[in-house]
Structure 1
Amino acid sequence: MNDQRKKQTCKGGRKPKIDPCIHRYVFRLNDKDNNKFLSLFEASGMDNKAQFITSLLFSKEIRTVKIDKGTVDFYMRLTSFYAQFRAVGVNYNQVVKLLYTHFTEKKAATFLYHLEKNTAELAVLCRGIIELTEEFNSRSLKK
């Protein structure tokens, strides 16, 4: 009697589906059609071929995601460049502090003058990079 209670209360396993898929259909493809099917399946980004086929049959929306390697590469390089640019800003502040602590006022001002000239060149370079990025966005990403 104890065993029957345990079986009734401790029912293990997966819960049964409300509407299980029990109907099965089989079809065959030649090599050409199979390659086309596989390319469509890969472009859809779905994980399950059965879901892909049913979405095609019943005209459900299929999303295709195309990843442009050039765009991804550009984004990664731009991100790393931005990190380097921030590091230059941090180093700039450290250099200015060190100049005033280790050199006389006149010598520090001379070094700061050279540093400001290089900073102006860096700002021009940064503007050019921003323009290139905006041009790339308008040409490549807005398609």
Structure 2
Amino acid sequence: MNGKKRNVGGKSPKPDKVCHPVMVRFTDEEYARFLAMYEQSGVYAKAVFIKARVFGAEFRVLKIDKTLVDYYTKLASLHAQFRAVGVNYNQTVKELKSRFSEKKAMALLYRLEKQTVELVALSRQILALTNEFQTQWLPKLT
């Protein structure tokens, strides 16, 4: 072989192999507290969670409130529907002018205008609720 290593295949060894296991025993109460902390952390493995606690890594708890996510999603979809109404508004006005007499078109446009005023008020409420939601519930980026 002239001093060369044969290629045997397989996985190459890790440079910093983990080979020193440590055992911890908990009482029932301690284990319940440990599991609660582990689940709140969102870490994928208990061993990783324990190592992070032992070596003083920052402990973060990420909680996702499903109701807030649903609220924000519905608010965003409502805003998207409102924009769609705005797109259709222009087409509606063109069709009213081309399909009806001027008197009938003006009467229908008057009703459409009243509905538009209500939509504008609703849009302002949507924006106010969105801003309030963002300031109250979303974390600040700093």
TM-score w.r.t. length of structure 1: 0.83
**What RMSD in Å do the two structures reach over aligned CA positions?**
2.2
Stretches of 4+ aligned residues off by more than 6 angstroms: none
Q: Distance in 1 between matches of 2:123 and 2:105?
A: 26
The CA distance in 2 between the partners of 1:28 and 1:63, in whole Å, is: 24
- Matches for 1:67-78 after TM superposition, within 5 Å: 67-78=64-75
Please give the residue correspondences for 1:60-139 in structure 2 after superposition, counting only pairs within 5 Å: 60-139=57-136
Partners of 2:41 and 2:62 within 8 A in 1: yes
What secondary structure does 2:64 align onto?
coil
Question: In 1, Cα distance between the equivalents of 2:82 and 2:116?
Answer: 11
The reply to whether residue 13 of structure 1 matches residue 42 of structure 2 is no
Alpha-carbon separation, structure 2, partners of 1:8 and 1:116: 84
Q: Paired residues, what number?
A: 138
Structure 1: gaps of 5 or more residues: none
Structure ranking higher on relative contact order (CA contacts 8 Å, 6+ apart):
2
Cα deviations across residues 70-99 of structure 1 (Å, max 9, x unaligned)?
311211111221222122122222212221
- What is the deviation of 1:62? 2.6
In structure 2, what residue type is equivalent to 1:129?
Answer: I
